A = this chain, B = another copy of it.
Amino acid sequence: MNIKFIPDYSDIEKAHQTIQEYAHRTPVLTSSSIDKIVGADLFFKCENFQKVGAFKFRGACNAVFSLSQEEMEMGVATHSSGNHAAALALAAKMRGIPAYIVMPETSPEIKKKAVAGYGAQITFCKPTLLARENTLAEVVKETGATEIHPYNNFYVIAGQGTAAKELIEDAGKFDIILAPVGGGGLLSGTAISAKQLLPKCKVIAAEPAGADDAFRSFHSKKRVPSKNPKTIADGLLTSLGERNFKIILEKVDDIVTVSEEKIVESMRLIWERMKIVIEPSSAVPLAAILEGKVDIKNKKVGIILSGGNLDLGKLPF
């Protein structure tokens, strides 16, 4: 289904048209008390308010609605225990096609329920990457479904880029745009939009020090996978995808790492001051600011809050 390997801005514009009747145009919020603390003007793009509670819906939706008639009938498949699974399941339901989701049998009940609630067919597997990939290969072989990778996918990247496009359209010029980085779907899409619309704007990614493969890959210019990543920001445990890395090397200005302590502190600050629920991954860019890793003094800064899904019974404070 992918002809071009890497999307450009016109693909993001197309994605935006494709998803606009299904995805929320999420609000951009500000907080004068956080601005005072950091000494800059921050604009938060609230993807925690997106469908399924995360930006992931943009990419999954674009992928599902970009399928040809022929592909469509066979459905879509992926392996994921997180937001991408729910996003793909909902997008497939909206288009009325089957979704086959491979999930580790150890996934939290609440996530299994959410995915099943969207009508997806779940195949459980052992909780290893090998088991997930093998099980997915079998499912794809049996069903003929199109695999939609959570981030190393042309249409997914184009879809994720629509968040930064909206942020810039709604809040104007920025000096810096910050996003968290895990597999790189959000970051690569963000960089394509930002560099097209605001060539002078810096795009900087923040990553937990405990899962710093993007940081190491970016600075060594060689894609290195995560080794036993460990962080409370559970959306950022994955390693950079090939397409994502290519875009990031070309368009991202810097990647910095942050401590677990600052992630928790930033998450709490956003909850307390802005009265919104965000997941730990969303707090990583603000953590980079509070830790002094990014110079934002008196600048106008956009921050993408990636999502708001977490177990309220297991909060770190």
Q: Is the CB of B277 within 8 A of A49?
A: no
A198 within 8 A of B: no
Is there an interface contact between B49 and A275, defined as CB atoms closer than 8 Å? Answer: yes
Instruction: Identify which of A268, A278, A308 gathers the most chain B CB atoms within 10 Å of its CB.
Output: A308
Given contacts A275-B276, A275-B277, A276-B276, contact A317 B308 (CB under 8 A): no
Q: Does A37 contact B (CB under 8 A)?
A: no
Q: How many copies does the complex hold?
A: 2
Q: Which of chain B's residues have a CB closer than 8 A to the CB of A272?
A: 277, 312
Min CB distance A43 to B, Å, is: 16
Query: What 0/1 readout, one digit per residue, does chain A (279-317) give for beta carbons within 8 Å of chain B?
Result: 000000000000000000000000000001000110101
* Cβ contacts A to B, 15 pairs, < 8 Å: A27-B27, A48-B275, A49-B275, A53-B275, A271-B277, A271-B312, A272-B277, A272-B312, A275-B277, A275-B278, A275-B308, A276-B276, A276-B277, A312-B315, A313-B317
Please report A residues at the B interface, Cβ cutoff 8 Å. Answer: 27, 48-49, 53, 268, 271-272, 275-278, 308, 312-313, 315, 317
